[in-house]
Structure 1
Amino acid sequence: MASVSAYHNQQYLIDPSVLTVLPDVAQVLEVAHHGESAWAKASRIHLLHSDGSEERYFMKVSVGHHGREALGGEFEATPAMYAIAPDFCPKPIAWGSFQREPDTHFPICKFYDFADGVPEPVSFCEKLARLHSSHTSPEGKFGFHCTTYNGDLPQDNSWHKSWEAFFANGLRHVLKVREDRAGPSPKLDALLPALFDKVIPRLLRPLESEGRKVAPSLVHGDLWCGNAGIIDESTEEGIAYDPAGFWAHNEYELGNWRPKRNKFTRRHFQLYHSHIPKSEPEEDYDDRNALYALRFNLHAAALFPNQDSFIHMAIEESRRLTTKFPDGYTGNE
């Protein structure tokens, strides 16, 4: 048990706004640094509750307008996921701004000890498929009610009735952010007219034509190995966290599994599709996945503008797709 002086020292490390939203705090046993990224820091908070139970909580902290928007979007996406698949993500507690430093912001959720590695695919893919199988988007549209961030990249989640229109609009926004941060890329820019006028209609319009529809699914939106952790070493069962969610075509999620750096395997794809079949037309599946992966590579190019590898991957994939589909969409509107 911590001494009274230690308790007061630990309590002082937590802003009063945080203590207000944590349940039944009797003592603050520990506040420990728990890692950081280029845009946020994290802490583990160990509490003694008034009923004698102990619990640990995870708090992320960021500053400024974008910090507030990013953490607020993450918190909005987490309870939306939790309401559908509570065993797929951490239980959200609250979010807000510090009393002592009003320009500093935080969300809090339950803390988990994660083991190394990617979650085993059987239960993980079942839970992800369950998340994607809930088609309860407002008015059946694609988008989200607030901005969500992929890292420090704000996404344009403006509502659209058409998945093709939503995807194209979101991709243009990502490209603009990347150019603002890294400058123009003449090689990529030369490919963009064909990408938007030919490739995107060719691969996405068939999903919503000839009687076919895309039912919006809530996606995590940034489901790479760094945002999925093993919570039980004996079973390798895992959960996902740090969402950048919105309502999308469910297959969009799997675009982030295509790059080898993200460590999801062919087995994850197979087990996911044992629950949710590939969308029709199935023969376009691999190229749709490549198109979705292209956006994630452009996310990385915007997040890390000094690393040329991501923009080079985007250029090569854009070149391959525009070469393969020079005629664009030729079916019935």
Structure 2
Amino acid sequence: MTSNSSADKFGSSGHHSQILAALPHAHQVIEVREQAKSAWAEAFQVRILDSQGLEHKYFMKTSYGHHGREALRGEFEGTSAIHAITPEFCPRPIAWGTFTSQPDTHFYLCKYFEFAEGIPSPSPFCEKLARLHSRSCGLVDNFGFHCTTYNGDLPQDNTWCPSWEQFFSRGMRHVLRVRETRAGPNPELEALLPNLFDKVIPRLLRALESDGRKIKPSLIHGDLWYGNASVIRKTGDPVIYDPACFWAHNEYELGNWHPERNRFGKEFYQEYHRHIPKSDPVEDYDDRNVLYGLRFNLHAATLFPDKVEFLELVLRTLRYLTEKYQMNAE
């Protein structure tokens, strides 16, 4: 079968046979049309006919090399975990794998949705997000995930750990190592890091697991910015996709809303906490959010090392946290 579209990038019979094998009741591939492209992946709409001659659409993402393969595996496993808990909140994952006729090219397939313009409304979106976090809370005993998941082309260290403070610290150190490998050392950043790990993180995160308090891991999306959340045009329901999942303190998810570029403002925080209260100690909440936001800014500085504004956000946040908690510690 050859595609009837000049835009069909995966028009070979070998590619089509693998797509057909992965999709339920698929009989014929009509078209594989490119929809978007980033520095590390490409997105396609796949149109097929079933055995009754009815047309169906699916979403396919492709990537390349070892990291591309592991990123798509992580996306499949993360989406599967979300779908198992809140199936109405994400596209149904179908398959992932490697094209046998192109061993360096990998794919991920899921249900396709037509999206409306704009971001979801705070109330239904935050209700569903809180449902994901609350339903998953305590289903596992440790923080982490059973495979590596990726923010873009940035692998996360998801090694299981019983302590949230230790897990968060280890994850931060891992991202910092990747950033330095890609962008080189930064003297000011290096000078601020000892206080971050010796004073700020213990002060803000150890309190969550002290004096009888305990954090139970929740499944988080892990990269929940406005580009990974939409509204289904047909139903008006919010949906999330492209996760970087692991089991975490639920408030970590909201750290990605702290940078203003991500367009989830105060009303989203307020709606979320209508369903799940802020963790104790509540008086640390704002600075915990700043600390969690620091990691997401560090992700941006690692993904885009040529954009100095992202590293400046990291440095600005580090200055604030280290000056405040160094002074308090003394």
Which band: TM-score by shorter chain? over 0.9
C-alpha displacement of 1:112: 1.1
SS state at 1:32 partner = strand
8 A Cα contact 1:21 1:94, kept in partner? yes
1:97–1:106 contact (8 Å) kept in structure 2 = yes
1:8-27 counterparts in 2 under 5 A? 12=12, 14-27=15-28
2:141 is the alignment partner of 1:163:
no
Give the corresponding residue for 1:225.
226
Taking a change above 3 Å as real, the CA distance of residues 222 and 139 of structure 1, as seen in their structure-2 partners, is closer
Stretch moving more, 94-103 or 23-32? 23-32
SS at match of 2:135: coil
Instruction: Determine if contact 1:203/1:284 at 8 Å carries over to the other structure.
Output: yes
Within 2, Cα distance between the matches of 1:83 and 1:26?
28
CA distance in 2, matches of 1:262, 1:117: 13
Separation in 2, partners of 1:182, 1:137 = 38
Secondary structure, aligned partner of 1:35 = strand
| Corresponding residue for residue 262 of structure 2 | 262
What is the match of residue 201 of structure 2? 200
Structure 1 SS opposite 2:88: coil
Q: Which residue of 1 aligns with 2:320?
A: 320
Alignment of 1:23-172 (within 5 A): 23-135=24-136, 139-172=140-173
TM-score (norm 1): 0.93
From the superposition, tell whether residues 8 and 221 of structure 1 become closer, same or farther in structure 2 (CA, over 3 Å): closer
Per the TM alignment, residue 27 of structure 1 is displaced from its structure 2 partner at its CA by 2.3
Partner in structure 2 of residue 296 of structure 1: 296
Amino acid at match of 2:159: S
Q: Is the 8 A contact 1:15 1:99 kept in 2?
A: no
Counterpart contact for 2:50–2:56, Cα < 8 Å? yes
In the aligned structure 2, how far is the partner of 1:5 from the partner of 1:232? 31
The answer to whether the 8 Å contact 1:43/1:58 transfers is yes
Q: Could you tell me how far 1:190 is from its partner in structure 2?
A: 0.5
The answer on whether the counterparts of 1:7 and 1:28 sit within 8 Å (CA) in structure 2 is no
The structural deviation recorded for 1:20 is 1.1
Once the two structures are TM-superposed, the CA of residue 299 in structure 1 deviates from its matched residue by 0.2
Q: Which residue of 2 aligns with 1:240?
A: 240
The separation in 2 between residues aligned to 1:16 and 1:5, in whole angstroms, is 11
Q: SS at the partner of 1:141?
A: coil
Sequence identity percentage? 59
8 Å CA contact retained: 2:145, 2:246: yes
Residues 3-38 of structure 1: CA distance to partner in whole angstroms, max 9, x if unpaired?
Answer: x87569976364432221111222222221111110
CA gap 1:26/1:161 in 2 versus in 1, 3 angstroms:
same
> Is the Cα contact below 8 Å between 2:255 and 2:291 reproduced in 1?
yes
CA distance, structure 1, for counterparts of residue 311 and residue 53 of structure 2: 53
Q: Which moved more, 1:160-169 or 1:17-26?
A: 17-26
Q: Which structure 2 residue ranges, 5 or more long, are not aligned?
A: none
What TM-score do you get using the length of structure 2 for normalisation? 0.94
Instruction: Return the alpha-carbon distance in structure 1 between the equivalents of residues 235 and 135 of structure 2.
Output: 30
CA RMSD of aligned residues (A): 2.0
SS of 2:216's partner is coil
What is the distance in 1 between the residues matched to 2:16 and 2:240? 27
For this pair of structures, how many residues does the alignment match? 326
Work out whether residues 198 and 328 of structure 1, in 8 Å CA contact, stay in contact via their aligned partners in 2.
no
Provide closer, same or farther for how the CA distance between residues 18 and 183 of structure 1 changes in structure 2, counting only shifts above 3 A. same
- Residue aligning to 1:307: 307
Which ranges of structure 1 fall in alignment gaps of 5 or more residues?
Answer: none
Q: CA deviation at 1:223?
A: 0.3
- SS of residue matched to 1:87: helix
CA contact (8 A) 1:95 1:107 kept: yes
- Between the aligned partners of 2:5 and 2:317, the Cα distance in structure 1 is 56
Q: Partner amino acid for 2:60?
A: M
Question: Shift in Å at residue 257 of structure 1?
Answer: 0.5
* 1:188 Cα deviation after fit: 0.9
Q: In 1, distance between residues paired with 2:59 and 2:235?
A: 23
Name the amino acid aligned to 2:248: A
Q: Which amino acid counterpart does residue 185 of structure 2 have in structure 1?
A: P
Taking the aligned partners of 1:253 and 1:329, their CA distance within structure 2 comes to: 28
1:272 is paired with a residue of what secondary structure?
helix
CA contact (8 A) 2:28 2:48 kept: yes
Amino acid at match of 1:209: S
CA offsets, 1:60-89, max 9 Å, x none? 000100000111011110010000011111
